[in-house]
Amino acid sequence: MVILTEPKVVISPEHCKSCGMCIQFCPAQVLELSQEFNQMGYHPARYTGSGCTGCGICYYACPEPKAITILRKGCTADD
Ligand code: SF4
Ligand code: SF4
């Protein structure tokens, strides 16, 4: 468990349907489609690992309610 020193976006691969809306609307351009498949056969979106500002635009753009979580600076995270 770590305390985040910067915002972080967490995407649940199994809830993503690979529509690409989050990627299209992220102003920081820090999201991409994974080469992996989820259990439904989609390539889920994933965080490239740095540069998320925590703006939340991807969260509001995503049609899948459980796919995206935004963690603010100071939140605790698994890694
Ligand atoms: S919170 Fe903002 S910067 Fe971070 S991934 Fe989502 S749209 Fe991009
Ligand atoms: S907007 Fe949601 S469902 Fe679409 S690619 Fe991004 S995380 Fe997946």
Q: Which atom of ligand 1 is found nearest the CA of 47?
A: 5
Is pLDDT above 90 for 79? no
Q: Is 67 in the pocket of ligand 1 (CB under 6 A)?
A: no
Q: Note whether 13 and 46 are within 8 A (CB).
A: yes
Confidence (pLDDT) at 35 = 97
Looking at domain 2-77, which CATH architecture does it have?
2-Layer Sandwich (3.30)
The pLDDT confidence band at residue 77, using thresholds 50, 70 and 90, is confident
End-to-end CA distance of the chain: 6
CA 20 to ligand 1 center in whole angstroms = 13
What pLDDT is attached to residue 20?
98
Domain chopping of the chain, boundaries: 2-77
Q: What is the pLDDT of residue 57?
A: 98
pLDDT digits over 3-47, tens only?
999 999 999 999 999 999 999 999 999 999 999 999 999 999 999
Q: What is the pLDDT of residue 6?
A: 95
